[in-house]
Structure 1
Amino acid sequence: MSATPRRPLQEILDEFGPLKDGMAVAASQAEGYRGKLPDAMVDFWIEHGRGQWRDGLFWICDPEPIMPVLHALFAGDPEFDAARMVPFMRDAFGEVSVWHPKFKLITLKMNLGTVTTTDITTHVIEGVPPFDDDMAVAAAVDASVFDGRGWVDATTGKPVFDAVRRRLGPISADQVYTMVPHFRLGGDGAARDFSIGGFIEYLGVLAQIGSFTLERYIDPKQGGRGPFGHLEAVRTIGHDRLIDRDTL
């Protein structure tokens, strides 16, 4: 009996339907990313284009406009080379999911100033075999869109997206909900602090307001705190160790 063929990203289409506010991607443009991005995402662009799910909370995005921000953010970093990165998804608050051939999924939590990596091509969970690149990039999309939280108010622990969208209305592919006063500069990160601004412009500002920290996940079996483990700071982006922000 043959195994059922895998269909990366089909689960998300079955649950949420086609992308909204979609933009077609020319096959010639998409093919330029083949070998830099898993085939599953390149093929998805060709067949479905780019656009949003969940009322604009998550967007399959054009990598090109984001690249200058990545080059600035990772300039001089001893480990990450922005030239090998391909952003493929972002949320309504500026969090960006990036593919890298070595590290696989890189998550840029721009509002928090953190960078994390996840490689589920080497290990997933007990009893589940490692994914290949196609399934890994699909799993990254599935995990975000099915979860559907986005930015969470630090004081209440509640997602703010619904309240922000009701007050401000929807965003377009080149817009984002911007936070002022910003959380990294002493703001509360509450729903009332958001307005609508340019997506790339906002990323550029966030890349400059303070240093970014590479974090790694510590599993409870490896000493991680709490039932789900914790994130631990590894080093400052652009340096080979943790650098005190005041010394930058």
Structure 2
Amino acid sequence: MSVTPRRPLQEVLDEFGPLKDSTTVSASQAEGYRGRLPDAMVDFWIEHGRGQWRDGLYWICDPEPIMPVLHALFAGDPEFDAARMVPFMRDAFGEVSIWHPKFKVITLNVNSGTVTTTDITTKVIEGIPPFDDDMAVAAAVDANVFDVHGWVDSRSGKPVFETVRRRLGPISANQVYTMVPHFRLGGDGAAKDFSIGGFIEYLGVLTQMGSFTFERYVDPKEGGRGAFGHLEAVRTIGHDRLIDN
């Protein structure tokens, strides 16, 4: 029996509809990323543009404004080469999803100061063959938009997005909900601590605030703690080992 292949990103479109606040991407502009980003995302830009789902919690974003921040953050790193990175998605609090040909999906959590990687092109999940690059980038989008709720209050464990948006209103494609006092400087990370600011400016400030840590996921089958495993610090970005800030 033949199986009809899934069309990358169709599931999120079926569930959440077309992008809101969308901007068109010309074919020539999108084609400039062909070979640097999976075809599924390049084709998606051409067909649907860039914009947001879930009232601005998740944005398919323009890579170019983010690149200077990545070049500064990963300068001199022994593994991560910013020149091979293409940011393709971000959330309302500044977390950025980045494509890399080797590591596949890199998640930059600027508020926590962490970098993680996810490569589902090498693993078999529930008997399903490993994904190709097109389905890997689509899965990264799906995982966020379907399952994750953005920044979570460290005390209550509850997502803050709805409360923050209700108090401050929506953000645009070049804005983000900014945290002051910041979590990395002793703030609570509670809903009351957020305001609206420039997205790129916020990234720039946070990447200069202190060192970022590369973390790896440890599966329970490999000794990971708890039912879902855990993240452990591997090294400091820009160094081959963990260093003190």
Q: TM-score range by the shorter chain?
A: over 0.9
Partner of 1:216: helix, strand, or coil? strand
Question: What's the secondary structure of 1:36's corresponding residue?
Answer: coil
Partner SS, residue 235 of structure 1: strand
- Report SS of the residue matched to 1:69: helix
Alignment-derived partner of residue 181 in structure 1: 181
CA–CA separation in structure 1 for the residues paired with 2:126 and 2:218: 16
How far apart are the structure 1 equivalents of 2:7 and 2:19? Answer: 17
**Alignment map for 1:19-168 (pairs within 5 Å):** 19-168=19-168
Secondary structure of the residue aligned to 1:139 is helix
Q: CA separation in 1, counterparts of 2:218 and 2:103?
A: 17
Q: Do the aligned partners of residues 155 and 124 (structure 1) sit closer, same or farther apart at CA in structure 2, a change above 3 Å counting? A: farther
Counterpart-to-counterpart distance in 1, 2:50 and 2:192? 29
Task: Name the CA distance, whole Å, in 1 between partners of 2:235 and 2:129.
Answer: 30
Alpha-carbon RMSD: 0.7
Deviation of 1:6 after TM superposition, in Å, equals 2.2
In structure 2, how many angstroms separate the alpha carbons of the residues matched to 1:23 and 1:151? 25
User: Does structure 2 retain, via aligned residues, the 8 Å contact 1:214–1:234?
Assistant: yes
SS of the aligned residue for 1:137 comes to helix
Runs of 4+ in 1 over 4 A off after TM superposition: none
CA distance in 1: counterparts of 2:99 and 2:45, whole angstroms: 15
Q: Which amino acid aligns with 1:9?
A: L
Shift of 1:57: 0.1
CA distance, structure 2, for counterparts of residue 194 and residue 206 of structure 1:
15
The CA deviation at 1:222 is: 0.5
Q: What are the Cα deviations for residues 172-202 of structure 1, in whole angstroms up to 9, with x where unaligned?
A: 0000000000000000000000000000000
Give the fraction of aligned pairs with identical amino acids, expressed as a percent: 87
What's the offset of the Cα at 1:72? 0.3
Which residue of structure 2 aligns with residue 214 of structure 1? Answer: 214
**What is the CA–CA distance in structure 1 between the aligned matches of 2:126 and 2:31, rounded to whole Å?**
36
Q: Distance in 1 between matches of 2:220 and 2:129?
A: 20
Q: What secondary structure, in the 3-state scheme, does the structure 1 residue paired with 2:156 have?
A: coil
Q: Secondary structure at the match of 1:127?
A: coil
Distance in structure 1 (CA, Å) of the matches to 2:111 and 2:207: 9
- Quote the offset at 1:244 in angstroms: 1.1
- Whether 2:239 is the aligned partner of 1:239: answer yes
Matched residue, 2:224: 224
- TM-score normalised to structure 2 length: 0.99
2:120 and 2:36 map into 1 onto residues whose CA distance is: 18
SS at match of 1:123: coil
Q: Which amino acid aligns with 2:58?
A: F
Shift of 1:124: 4.1
Contact map agreement 1:54 1:148 (CA 8 A) in 2: no
> Alpha-carbon deviation of 1:2?
3.2
Residue type at the aligned position of 1:230: H
Partner letter of residue 135 of structure 1? M
Cross-structure match for 1:193: 193
Q: 2:242 and 2:148 mapped to 1: Cα distance?
A: 32
| CA displacement at 1:129 relative to structure 2 | 1.3
Letter aligned with residue 80 of structure 1: F
